[in-house]
Amino acid sequence: MSAPAAHFETPQNRREAAELGIWVFLATELMFFGPLFLAYAAARLSYPEGFAEASRHTDVVIGTANTAVLLTSSLFMALASRSAQLGRRRAASLLLFITALLGTAFLVLKAMEYFDEWQQHLVPWLDFRFEPGLAHPASLFYLLYFAMTGLHAIHLTIGIVLVLVFAWRLRSHSPASMRLQIENGGLYWHFVDAMWVFLYPLLYLVERA
Amino acid sequence: MSAEPSRAFHPESYLHGGDTFVSWLTTRDHKRIALLYMISITGFFFLGGAAATIIRLELLTPNADLVDADTYNELFTAHGIIMVWFFLIPSIPATLGNFLIPLMIGAREVAFPRLNLASWYLYTLGGLFVLGTLIAGGVDTGWTFYAPLSTLFSHSHVELAVAGVFIVGFSSILTGLNFIVTVHRLRAPGMTWFRLPLFVWANYATSIILVLATPVLAMTLLLIVFERVTGIGVFDPALGGDPLLFQHLFWFYSHPAVYIMVLPAMGVASEIIPCFARKPIFGYRTMAYAILGIGMIGFLVWGHHMFVSGQSMYASVVFSLLSFLVAIPSAIKVFNWTATLYKGSILFASPMLYALGFVGLFTIGGLTGLFLAATALDVHLTDTYFVIAHFHYIMVGGTVMAYLGGLHFWWPKIVGRVYPETWARIAAITIFVGFNLTFFPQYLLGVLGMPRRYHVYAPEYQLLNEFSSTGAGILAVGYLLPLIYLIWAMLRGAQAPDNPWQATGLEWQTPSPPPQENFEETPRVSGEPYAYETPERNA
Amino acid sequence: MKVTSIQTLLATWGGLLLLLALTTASAYVHLGLGNLLLNLGIAAIKVALIAAIFMHLVRSSVTVRLAASAALFFLFILAFLFFGDWLTRPSNPAPWRAPPSDAR
């Protein structure tokens, strides 16, 4: 994608097409997450106590820390986009690297969390144990928890790979030629971040008081 | 990107230069990808048709004398999955749409050629999964995969089939994404929104549905697999889930999917009818708005598939009302096609025969849809052959007729050769007769109460079933004819002129078959679409 | 092509962390339904900030903004019509498949 494709009249035209394309893609991503949110809402309305209790079993410290990590990674992603726009190769490369590092930190924390949950028998299909009477709704909660956070983690992994590729390619390509990719990759990164912003209160903060 | 296609015009058509197998499989030319799609969906069409043939043979008699219950279940499921996802949904958009949209808007390519090729590969991969399902022994849940049947009770190969549908969904998404961006960003100078051919409008609206509805299906199918694998689920009531949630999510995709199938068909009819009536389309703007209206309202009506599911009656009333609303833009379209014909100088060429067949059959299918949108009547008709007849009138009578009409209309442009017109007319009439003989008796069977999805039936239904099965035989012949003579035309037909029908539209202003970069130079558009002049006739 | 200033980006980030602190803290105050509404409201503001500034929707074209909001609109329709059914539906479980005892 280095040379402007011949079917675009101008670079401006190409930029606008790419921007619209990535937004349409993000719209499909949102629709893809949608049924999970709907299933969550229906199940939570059916079993308020079960969901509250199950949510209290999540690790709110890691969850909150991870939210902060992800929000910060978005800042660095935005700064990286900015540097690419301004043609600052070294800054852009460094900022992208930090972004990827923060994303990786999120995944590491998340993996620790998964491990703890497995040890506490909170994985619904692996010897699930929970307070009697609430086990059923709690298993539903944890099914959705693993589905949503797992899907999010997959997206984030893709994002990290993308960002690292961009940082790598900046060594040999000019920031001007990489600008479009970094901007659009950034949009994807921010989208993954925004999904987490909704997952965090829904999964970790159901009824903490 | 290695070799930049040069902007200079070279007279070689897209079919020449790079004739190797590999060059076709790595092409980024939207026209070649359209042909790849055409070959694939034709294969699946005849595979799905084979399943239908066995079904109709079994139903010749009231008893089970050809297949047993399980095989029958697998047959109609295979027929549904293949026809819906591997033929109807990609049919017009991925073939004619892929070929024509850039040509019609004066562009050299679709916006993202590589995604376009990826879309075909995803389609092929999904198709392999479905073929794998068939070889492994099939799936018996019906194409709807209703939970908890699909999650708890079915012991067939649900995972494989679901994987196939999941993957093919992403191919639809990529096609839709490509079209949306192409129409927004790559129109030639002067090609304003209200100068777009209605075929482009229709595919644009279709693309919006594709990108917004398909992901919901994808996630729903994923949840089905979760539920099967883990034994914990959001759908099975025994597991604390809600089975109607599945139906809501499924039909949120699958009802708009009907419009994915029929909107492009309407687009095809809107191109053919003005050309062979030699008149501008009647009410161009209302046609465009009606397309958007159908696309939009199509998202609001899915609950009419669930009137007897245990859904709240209040929701049913709302869904019923909203369903009736679809009739308004649909009727606008039918009236406008009719008004276009009025005092036109009509030529009954083969594409026109298909287009007229489309209008008539779509109208019957649409009007019988109103029966099913009425809650009280639906209780009687639901899950009977009336429903089968209704949606086959829309999907086969509507979409397949229009697809064939479009294939004939643009075949000279696509392959640069002419097909035998007499054979084409014979085929069009055979298909029309065969279709009605197959499916009209099914309306009557439905009213009489014959339920769908059974391999045996009460003896009093036999006569109408015999009519239907006979019609299916005629229909099969009708479908084989175009396969033969269109391929013959591609290999042996006479050279086609650039504009054999004296049609308007940019795709006719470039050679047949078009050169690789579509146009010698980017066209500039100054006039309205469908600028046909009616030959003077003294009243 | 305008570039977002570092100050704006930093301020947005600060605002996001502040909102995160607010939502976490509020979860430990018993507000009943208020907790849920506050959580969702704050999440919506955070996402709006991310979309407007980080994803620079504020200076995007109308087409792009429409694309960005289309999915929200259609998800709303999905949720609205689904809950229209769900909330008014009578619950008639088959006796042999009664749902778990702690259902609504």
Nearest CA distance, B373 vs chain C (angstrom): 17
pLDDT value at residue B3: 37
C77 in reach of chain B (CB within 8 A): yes
Give the mean pLDDT of B516-538: 83
pLDDT reading at B283 higher than 60: yes
pLDDT value at residue B15: 87
Q: What share of chain B is helix, strand, coil (3-state, %, to 5)?
A: 70, 0, 30
Given an 8 Å threshold on Cβ–Cβ distance, is B237 in contact with C99? yes
Given an 8 Å threshold on Cβ–Cβ distance, is C23 in contact with A205? yes
Separate counts of helices (H) and strands (E) for chain A: 6, 0
The proportion of chain A whose per-residue pLDDT surpasses 70, expressed as a percent, equals: 97
Nearest to A35 among B180, B216, B517 (CB): B216
Given an 8 Å threshold on Cβ–Cβ distance, is C97 in contact with B312? no
B484 backbone dihedrals φ, ψ, rounded to 5°:
-75, -55
Residues of chain B with Cβ-Cβ distance to C92 below 8 Å are 310
Neighbours of chain C (3+ CB pairs under 8 A): A, B
Closest residue by Cα to residue B205 from B268, B280, B264:
B264
**DSSP, residue by residue, B441-453:** HHHHHHHHTPBSS
The pLDDT confidence band at residue C98, using thresholds 50, 70 and 90, is: low
The pLDDT tens digits of the residues spanning A18-35 come to 999 999 999 999 999 999
pLDDT reading at C96 higher than 80: no
Give the mean pLDDT of B102-128: 96
pLDDT reading at A36 higher than 80: yes
How far apart (Å, rounded) are the C-alpha atoms in residues B145 and A75?
43
Give the mean pLDDT of B453-482: 96
pLDDT value at residue A6: 67
C70 in reach of chain B (CB within 8 A): yes
Residue of C nearest to B148 (CA): C97
Give the mean pLDDT of B470-476: 97
The pLDDT tens digits of the residues spanning A111-127 come to 999 999 999 999 988 88
C62 in reach of chain A (CB within 8 A): no
If you search the block for the tokens 């099975």, which residue do you land on?
B236
Given an 8 Å threshold on Cβ–Cβ distance, is B223 in contact with A43? no
Given an 8 Å threshold on Cβ–Cβ distance, is B248 in contact with C77? no
Instruction: Give me chain B's average pLDDT, please.
Output: 93
CA B156 to chain centre: 28
pLDDT value at residue C100: 54
The pLDDT confidence band at residue C2, using thresholds 50, 70 and 90, is: confident
How far apart (Å, rounded) are the C-alpha atoms in residues B176 and B100?
14
Do residues B477 and B430 lie in contact, with contact meaning Cβ atoms separated by under 8 Å? Answer: yes
| Other beta carbons within 10 Å of B521 | 9
pLDDT value at residue C93: 66
B417 backbone dihedrals φ, ψ, rounded to 5°:
-135, 160
| Other beta carbons within 10 Å of C57 | 18
Do residues B130 and B86 lie in contact, with contact meaning Cβ atoms separated by under 8 Å? Answer: yes
The pLDDT tens digits of the residues spanning B249-260 come to 999 999 999 999
Given an 8 Å threshold on Cβ–Cβ distance, is B245 in contact with C92? no
What's the DSSP call for residue B242?
-
Least confident of A62-71, B127-136, B241-250, B513-522: B513-522
Do residues A67 and A197 lie in contact, with contact meaning Cβ atoms separated by under 8 Å? Answer: yes
Residues of chain B with Cβ-Cβ distance to A44 below 8 Å are none
Nearest CA distance, B182 vs chain A (angstrom): 8
Residues of chain C with Cβ-Cβ distance to A60 below 8 Å are 24
Nearest CA distance, B407 vs chain C (angstrom): 32
CA torsion, points B37, B42, B44, B47, in degrees to nearest 10?
-170
C77 in reach of chain A (CB within 8 A): no
pLDDT value at residue A3: 40
What's the DSSP call for residue C57?
G
Give the mean pLDDT of A127-156: 92
Given an 8 Å threshold on Cβ–Cβ distance, is A197 in contact with C30? no
3-state secondary structure of B13: strand
Cis previous bond, B513, omega within 30: yes
Given an 8 Å threshold on Cβ–Cβ distance, is A140 in contact with B177? no
The pLDDT tens digits of the residues spanning B438-449 come to 999 999 999 999
The pLDDT confidence band at residue B21, using thresholds 50, 70 and 90, is: confident
pLDDT value at residue C90: 85
Do residues B216 and B249 lie in contact, with contact meaning Cβ atoms separated by under 8 Å? Answer: yes
In A93-138, the DSSP E strands lie at none
Q: Which two tokens stand for residue A156?
A: 């984030």
Q: Which two tokens stand for residue B260?
A: 């994915």
What's the DSSP call for residue B515?
B
Nearest to C85 among B212, B237, B315 (CB): B315
Residues of chain C with Cβ-Cβ distance to B312 below 8 Å are 84-90
Q: What is the pTM of this model?
A: 0.94
Given an 8 Å threshold on Cβ–Cβ distance, is C63 in contact with B216? no
A43 backbone dihedrals φ, ψ, rounded to 5°:
-70, -40
How far apart (Å, rounded) are the C-alpha atoms in residues C38 and A65?
20
pLDDT reading at C97 higher than 60: no
Given an 8 Å threshold on Cβ–Cβ distance, is B181 in contact with A24? yes
How far apart (Å, rounded) are the C-alpha atoms in residues A96 and B277?
60
pLDDT value at residue B114: 95
A146 backbone dihedrals φ, ψ, rounded to 5°:
-70, -35
Mutate to test the interface with B, among C62, C81, C86, C101 (most CBs of B within 10 A): C81
Given an 8 Å threshold on Cβ–Cβ distance, is C24 in contact with A60? yes
pLDDT value at residue A138: 92
